[in-house]
Amino acid sequence: RGRMRPTKMHARPSLRACGRATRLLARLLPLLLIGIGEASVWMRSPPPTSLGFGGGLVRLGHSSGHSCGRRRPSRPCTWRYDAPTMCMPVEDAKKAVVESPVASRSSKQGSDPQSALSDGSQDPAALTEPLQPLTLQGAWQSAGLPVLVLCCFIGAVCALDRVVMSVAILPMSEQFGYSDSVKGLIASAFSLGYCIGLVPAGVASSSSSPKMVLGIGLVVWSLAQALTPAAAENSVLSLLLARVGMGIGEAAAIPSIQVIAANFVPQRFRSQFWGLLTASLSMGTIGAYTLTPPLVDSAGWQSAFFIYGGAGIAISALWFALGADEPKSRDACFPEACELEEEAEATRRVDATKPVDESGVAGAMERAMERVREVPWSDMAVSRPVWALAAAHSASNFFLYFALSWLPTYFAYQFNLSTAGAASASQLPFVAAAVASVSAGAICDRVLVGWAGLPLTRARKVMQGIACVGPGAAMVSLALLASGVAGLELNQNTAQAIFVGALACQSFSAAGFGCAAQDISRRYSSLLYGSTSAVSVVVGAFGQYFTGVILDLTDRDFSAMFYLTGAVELCGVLMFTAWWNSERTFE
């Protein structure tokens, strides 16, 4: 009887914790659906005056006054697909349309008898008449929304697969006798693989198909996830290699989604979309904390890796079937998302006078290498905004990687909780992070930039300041409370509330550095994000491993790590505030 009581006491809180977590997920799901619904609002906005005929599209007199390139700021931008140039003045576009074989062919077919001239051409005046606005029932509904929703869903799966180890490591440590230093090494092995894969993933996403990069990455990390139990049974080295492989696969997720989002989402809504994506990452983390403990209790820790790995393979098939690199046509694109300055378009077009081997693997490799050589590597290396991104991202990762890898262990060590109890205590901070991510995008786009009229540069600095100062202050507060300052005692509820505030503030980085790479470059956004992420992942991996070393040296005292986190966050916000500028730099 004496042995049964503790078992019942642990079992009941575990079931109650799972029930509370399920209710929290049920409450949060409508918020995410509302956010996705709000994201569809800007899809319903009517496009500027445009005319589609035959196989071409000419865009005349953009209503927002967007200038066509930097060299002619006063000339309205016009799209034209059947002409050598993508941007031209309105009068020239009218003349080009009249002389276009596409226009002549359309008029001969009688597509618009009222505007057709006697010679078979079309009246230029008729080209400027507004057409019916593009609605959600058009191509955007089929081309845009499903792709963005799938990106958010894959982001949630990415976070779930990453966080499973932070829960499973507790029973794994009991079975295999891992020390805290070994647990830190296992956590940092994933980050090492992530760092290895980031730059190649960024280059591949920028120079080839981001859809394929994301799909292949999903397959790789899902296979590595499914192989983790066998690797752990074999040796620590095998487990480390499996985690490195999983990190390499997950490195493809964010850089490829950066390119897809830059192609689909207008600039003024990118903070909101990135907030939704970050909320999806938090939802994946919550899902891991909710689903993994019951799986571990009922079928062993190995079952979680098998199930999640198999689910990832199935989702990859769905992505290959429904995903897309960009809208299939300009008609299927939200107009402002498709605006490219003439310099950017010039870099994308192949010079007809330059001989290029178009056949076979040699031609593909030559085109890929040409794109790589076009990247302004030296300018990026000395760019202050790029270093601002790296500093803010590093500070954010130092704290976030600690939370993703060590938060359940912190609650288990500090308050003697079981695996289910520690996972349950770790859920609420990420619920707050999901809600804050959605709110951060709306606050930045609608309040700071829209209502208050702040420049985008200053708005990014405000959001990133919250994302760094909040977690830094929270970690210092935890260290002070743990030391008994002012006679205060740290309990589980207080610690949980502090982590709620810290992760909620950290999520404001979704509207800070998270989408800032798209501000300074549309074409190289994934490469910039991948390159700066490589630096930040090294910093985060160091924090993961160093945490385990500190715990072994200090008899499981987290205070030193909390003080160090506060210092890193302070350095990050100071450098981002000093160096960041949202002006378009690389195209």
Report pLDDT digits (tens) over 469-504.
Answer: 999 999 999 999 988 876 778 899 999 999 999 999
Say if 338 falls within a structural domain.
Answer: no
Asked whether residue 388 falls in the same domain as residue 467, the answer is: yes
Nearest CA among 423, 350, 146 for reference residue 264: 146
Q: 7: exposed, middle or buried (C-beta count within 10 Å: 0-12, 13-18, 19+)?
A: exposed
Say if 28 falls within a structural domain.
Answer: no
Q: How much is the pLDDT for 350? A: 36
Say if 529 falls within a structural domain.
Answer: yes
486: left (phi over 0), alpha (psi -120 to 50) or beta: left
Q: Are 522 and 344 in contact (CB under 8 A)?
A: yes
Asked whether residue 84 falls in the same domain as residue 233, the answer is: no
Strand partners, 53: 56
Q: Which of 134-148, 489-503, 520-534: highest mean pLDDT?
A: 489-503
Say if 303 falls within a structural domain.
Answer: yes
Q: How much is the pLDDT for 486? A: 66
Please give the single-letter amino acid code of residue 491: N
Asked whether residue 209 falls in the same domain as residue 71, the answer is: no
The answer to whether residue 148 scores a pLDDT higher than 50 is: yes
Q: How much is the pLDDT for 470? A: 96
| Angstrom distance (rounded) from CA 269 to CA 63 | 18
The distance from CA 277 to its chain's CA centroid, rounded to whole angstroms, is: 6
> Domain residues for 89?
50-107
Helix locations, 177-209, DSSP H? 180-207
The distance from CA 443 to its chain's CA centroid, rounded to whole angstroms, is: 18
Q: How much is the pLDDT for 20? A: 55
The answer to whether residue 395 scores a pLDDT higher than 60 is: yes
DSSP secondary structure, 79-131, as one string: -BSSSS-S---HHHHHHHHHH-HHHHHHHHTTS-TTTB-TTS-B-HHHHTS--
Say if 112 falls within a structural domain.
Answer: no
More confident residue, 553 or 442: 553
Say if 179 falls within a structural domain.
Answer: yes
Q: Which of 47-51, 323-327, 564-568: highest mean pLDDT?
A: 564-568
Asked whether residue 195 falls in the same domain as residue 93, the answer is: no
Nearest CA among 520, 466, 476 for reference residue 498: 476
Q: What is the mean pLDDT of residues 452-476?
A: 93
Looking at residue 299, which CATH number applies to its domain? 1.20.1250.20
Q: Which of 16-25, 220-229, 451-460, 513-522: highest mean pLDDT?
A: 220-229
Instruction: Work out how many domains the chain is built from and give that number.
Output: 2
